[in-house]
């Protein structure tokens, strides 16, 4: 079997794509897999590191505001469609899988025009525009939330959940390793703050303003800032002069970070939410308000409405986030309830179920 997997742009698209590829290879090592991404985006580096070949398209996203960059969008889209058709013609896949991101549109359209069956993986609780358009040709749409028949034909939908990295599933076995890695005291409560691979300014500025309160409370913080804020964060940590605050621009060992966390502050991207459900950590979600169709708020509310997470809106985070975090860390009953409820959303076998759907549509 030959499979093209297309999409990327963020870790939230790339890591699920790699998880699907790994499952396909585990089920049949002879499977040939080719990734197609967007030139200059992080998938061009992350996918080869995972051991898979990748080709790039010149496609870019269209910006919401009026900019000169938008003038080049139609030309780059046209070039990407031509390039995608060439890739499909040369590789001759049995199936094409789209995981969202710039490159999935041209590639899945080219595959559909060639009669190649396609599968879409929609990660959010509110479907993106590209997937809504591509779904009319797709054989399957694998989703992470119920109620997605508001966007897709019900007979195409499979509720699989979002694939996550395999090491996340075994996070609870990494407590001692995590304490050693982050140089933590086992007797102290620990807050993990993550804003995605690039960090989140609102989360960073909220933490920066409240560091002294965590130190005074005797609490530990693992703070992932993203590369743009790291120097400012280091200066802030130096100013409070406490070893309880651990600051990193990027955390590679997320399984160990989750393992030692008594609570987590996070954006509400699809991958982050799926990981939190799987590890069962009590969470405060701060949705990114500028996400397309405000999908992060919708992701968060799917949990909040079931008492499975807490919500702090971006607009008030600088005033309320630190207080909410301190309150949660000091309320063991609430943490236990949130942990219990968020685990009910976990889909630990998502990658395998999607891989099985990929195989099914090639046999039809």
Q: How far apart are CA 356 and CA 349, in angstroms?
A: 11
The pLDDT value given to residue 62: 58
Handedness of CA 273, 277, 278, 284 (dihedral sign): positive
pLDDT at 196: 75
274 is in an annotated binding site: yes
Give me the pLDDT at residue 76, please.
72
The pLDDT of 152-168, averaged and rounded, is 92
Q: What percent of the chain has pLDDT over 90?
A: 76
Tokens representing 228 are 């743009």
In this prediction the pTM is 0.85
pLDDT in tens, 177-223: 999 999 999 999 999 999 877 779 999 999 999 999 999 999 999 99
pLDDT band for position 72 (cuts 50, 70, 90): low
Judge: domain 166-345, CATH 1.10.3430.10.
no
Of 33-42, 67-76, 226-235, which gets the smallest average pLDDT?
67-76
Mean pLDDT of 133-143: 94
Report the pLDDT value the prediction gives residue 204, as an integer from 0 to 100: 96
**166-345 shares the fold of 2-162+348-363:** yes
| Cα–Cα dist 116/98, whole Å | 13
At 221, phi and psi to the nearest 5?
Answer: -130, 125
Q: What are the residue ranges spanned by the domains of the chain?
A: 2-162+348-363, 166-345
- The DSSP H or E segment spanning 57 is strand 54-57
Please indicate if the annotation marks 232 as binding a ligand: no
> Is 251 known to sit in a ligand binding site?
yes
270 labelled as ligand-binding? yes
What is the fold of 2-162+348-363?
A: Rossmann fold (3.40.50)
Find the mean pLDDT for residues 258-262: 98
For 247-267, what is the mean pLDDT? Answer: 95
| Confidence band, pLDDT 50/70/90 cuts, at residue 328 | very high
Classify residue 61 by its DSSP letter.
P
Tokens found for residue 268: 């509400």
Residue 64 in this model has a pLDDT that exceeds 60: no
User: Which range is least confidently modeled, 10-14, 77-81, 257-261, 337-341?
Assistant: 10-14
What percent of the chain is modeled with pLDDT above 70? 95
Which uninterrupted H or E stretch holds 2?
strand 2-6
345 DSSP assignment: G
- Is 271 flagged in the annotation as binding? yes
Assess whether pLDDT exceeds 60 at residue 70.
no
Establish whether 10 is an annotated binding residue: yes
**294-304: average pLDDT:** 92
pLDDT of 59 strictly over 90: no
CA-based nearest residue to 49, from 24, 27, 21: 21
Return the pLDDT at 65: 58
Query: Using alpha carbons only, what angle is made at residue 324 by residues 229 and 125, rounded to the nearest 5 degrees?
Result: 75
Q: What does the pLDDT look like over 235-255, one tens digit per residue?
A: 999 999 999 999 999 998 999
DSSP three-state, residue 332: helix
Res. 130: pLDDT tops 90: no
Mean pLDDT calculated for residue range 61-88: 75
> Is 273 assigned a ligand-binding role in the annotation?
yes
73 against 53, higher pLDDT: 53
124 is in an annotated binding site: yes
How would residue 60 be classed by pLDDT, with cut points 50, 70 and 90? low
Count CB atoms within 10 A of the CB of residue 313. 15
pLDDT reported for residue 67: 62
Query: Does 296 belong to an annotated binding site?
Result: yes
Question: With 90 as the cut, is the pLDDT of residue 103 above it?
Answer: no
pLDDT at 73: 63
Using a 10 angstrom Cβ sphere, with 0-12 exposed, 13-18 middle and 19 or more buried, the burial of residue 8 is buried
């Amino acid at each position: 079997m030959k499979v093209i997997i297309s999409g990327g742009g963020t870790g939230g698209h790339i890591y699920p794509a790699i998880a699907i590829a790994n499952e396909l290879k585990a089920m049949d090592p002879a499977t040939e897999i080719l990734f197609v991404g967007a030139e200059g985006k992080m998938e061009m580096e992350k996918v080869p590191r995972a051991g898979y070949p990748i080709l790039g398209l010149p496609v870019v996203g269209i910006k919401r505001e009026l900019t000169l960059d938008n003038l080049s969008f139609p030309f780059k889209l046209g070039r990407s469609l031509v390039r995608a058709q060439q890739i499909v013609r040369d590789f001759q896949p049995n199936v094409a899988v789209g995981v969202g991101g710039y490159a999935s549109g041209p590639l899945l359209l080219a595959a559909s025009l060639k009669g190649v069956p396609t599968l879409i993986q929609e990660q959010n609780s509110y479907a993106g525009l590209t997937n809504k358009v591509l779904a009319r040709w797709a054989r399957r749409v694998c989703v992470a939330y119920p109620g997605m028949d508001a966007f897709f034909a019900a007979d195409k939908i499979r509720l699989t959940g979002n694939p996550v990295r395999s090491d996340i599933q075994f996070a609870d076995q990494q407590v001692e390793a995590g304490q050693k890695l982050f140089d933590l005291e086992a007797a102290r409560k620990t807050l993990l703050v993550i804003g995605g691979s690039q960090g989140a300014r609102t989360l960073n500025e909220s933490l920066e303003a409240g560091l002294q309160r965590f130190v005074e409370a005797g609490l530990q913080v693992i703070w992932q800032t993203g590369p743009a804020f790291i120097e400012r964060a280091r200066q802030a940590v130096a100013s409070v002069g406490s070893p309880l605050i651990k600051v990193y621009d990027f955390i590679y060992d997320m399984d160990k970070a989750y393992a030692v966390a008594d609570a987590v502050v996070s954006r509400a991207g699809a991958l982050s939410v799926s990981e939190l459900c799987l590890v069962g950590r009590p969470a405060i979600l701060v949705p990114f308000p500028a996400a397309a169709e405000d999908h992060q708020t919708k992701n968060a509310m799917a949990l909040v409405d079931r008492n499975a997470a807490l919500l702090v809106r971006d607009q008030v985070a600088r005033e309320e986030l630190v207080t909410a975090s301190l309150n949660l860390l000091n309320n063991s009953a609430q943490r236990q309830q949130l942990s219990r409820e968020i685990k009910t959303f976990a889909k630990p076998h998502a990658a395998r179920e999607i891989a099985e759907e990929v195989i099914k549509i090639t046999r039809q």
